Structure 1
């Protein structure tokens, strides 16, 4: 099987899409969205996630407590949990559709084209949706960190690893969806053959489809034409 530019773009799109789905899925469930170091007890670190809060102690291990109620959570965490769930579902659906739309699988061309286009759009949508909660949490963290109304003695929350995982995951999803749609744009363009002697270009893709005998006639008139 010949590996074309279209197939290379599809492979690259699948690679970045899988990486993006894994990152946003992990960032959804790990309690690493925010962390807090206490000045009074430097051996203790607090980690906050969308599901629970964990206290990490160097000697006592890790203790986690789930939120008592969904409605009792902070407003930004509630919306972020919903949006991350939505982004995961849309991203996985787009990844499955994109996987069935690559050229190396034996399906009808029209079906594969529709699957690739829908998969690319869903991957882009998943990347955009996942950017919203991650950036929102990061913005609130920065606002609270530099809030002058809070006394300096009060410890401040800082960025956790999940925020960066969410940003990278969203970027990879956007990149994967863009590459997949670019592969469809490349496939829709006509192919041009170049005459080495005259330097003229001949659009052969549409000519071959509309006039099957035109290709043979062109080859007789221009023996140096390479297809």
Structure 2
């Protein structure tokens, strides 16, 4: 495909990585990781996130309150806070590292080897960012399922369920992993474009040509 050039692949990797980073950033601060609705009072909806919990009622609207103690949080939320912070940091570093390696950027112009290394570092950091997004979201999802099916809780007690932020977190993490993969594909495409052309007048080709000429004369 002529339109699928190394430059287009690099721009696509940046676009996908940036989209995944923004999605992960929004997911980190959304209070919609878990949701709960009480059968006793259907007018109340509870929402829980990494930083605060919210209550929605038709009379008052939505009211949010930050967690009072970090150490008092469940272990899954504590770990998720750390990993999502790492994800945002490494995702931002991935874009900063990959930018000098893009074609058309004058930074490090004339140094294809250095540009190639910048793209590789950007791809690795994007992978790390994606994995540190997928891990906490999947961990919270696992603990939510375990608590939901825990037979020790009475049936009348409301239980937490998946919120919209869980799905946006999975999408953002996958986008970051795909973006990192596209960076490596762009590096491979660049290596393929810079390969030395085959020389038709090489000694081996010349020797074979002479051999064929002798055979024709005989």
Give the TM interval when normalised to the shorter protein: 0.7 to 0.9
Structure-to-structure mapping, 1:36-75, within 5 angstroms: 36-75=36-75
Q: Which runs of 5+ in 1 are unaligned?
A: 192-204, 215-227
**Of 157, 160, 163, the match for 2:163:** 160
Structure-to-structure mapping, 1:204-219, within 5 angstroms: 205-207=195-197
| 1:44-86 deviation per Cα after TM superposition (whole angstroms, max 9, x unaligned) | 1000000011001122111111111111111110110001000
TM-score by structure 2 length? 0.85
Provide the C-alpha distance between the structure 2 equivalents of 1:7 and 1:67, rounded to a whole number of angstroms. Answer: 46
Q: CA deviation at 1:100?
A: 2.3
Structure-to-structure mapping, 1:139-150, within 5 angstroms: 139-150=142-153
Provide the C-alpha distance between the structure 2 equivalents of 1:25 and 1:127, rounded to a whole number of angstroms. Answer: 12
Provide the C-alpha distance between the structure 1 equivalents of 2:4 and 2:134, rounded to a whole number of angstroms. Answer: 32
Query: Bigger relative contact order, structure 1 or 2, given CA contacts below 8 A and separation 6+?
Result: 2
Where 2:156 maps in the other structure, the secondary structure is coil
**Of 147, 163, 175, the match for 2:178:** 175
| 1:5-38 deviation per Cα after TM superposition (whole angstroms, max 9, x unaligned) | 2111111111110110001000001111000001
Do structure 1's residue 116 and structure 2's residue 106 form an aligned pair? Answer: no
TM superposition outliers: structure 1 runs of 4+ over 3 Å: none
Provide the C-alpha distance between the structure 1 equivalents of 2:39 and 2:78, rounded to a whole number of angstroms. Answer: 29
Instruction: Report the counterpart of residue 92 of structure 2 in structure 1.
Output: 92
Q: CA deviation at 1:130?
A: 1.0
Provide the C-alpha distance between the structure 2 equivalents of 1:69 and 1:120, rounded to a whole number of angstroms. Answer: 36
Where 2:196 maps in the other structure, the secondary structure is helix
Q: How many residues align?
A: 199
Q: Which runs of 5+ in 2 are unaligned?
A: 203-218
Provide the C-alpha distance between the structure 1 equivalents of 2:144 and 2:3, rounded to a whole number of angstroms. Answer: 47
Instruction: Report the counterpart of residue 223 of structure 1 in structure 2.
Output: none
Provide the C-alpha distance between the structure 1 equivalents of 2:82 and 2:36, rounded to a whole number of angstroms. Answer: 24
Provide the C-alpha distance between the structure 2 equivalents of 1:138 and 1:55, rounded to a whole number of angstroms. Answer: 21
| 1:118-154 deviation per Cα after TM superposition (whole angstroms, max 9, x unaligned) | 0001001110111110000001111111112211101
Provide the C-alpha distance between the structure 1 equivalents of 2:197 and 2:44, rounded to a whole number of angstroms. Answer: 72
CA RMSD of aligned residues (A): 2.2
Q: CA deviation at 1:4?
A: 5.7
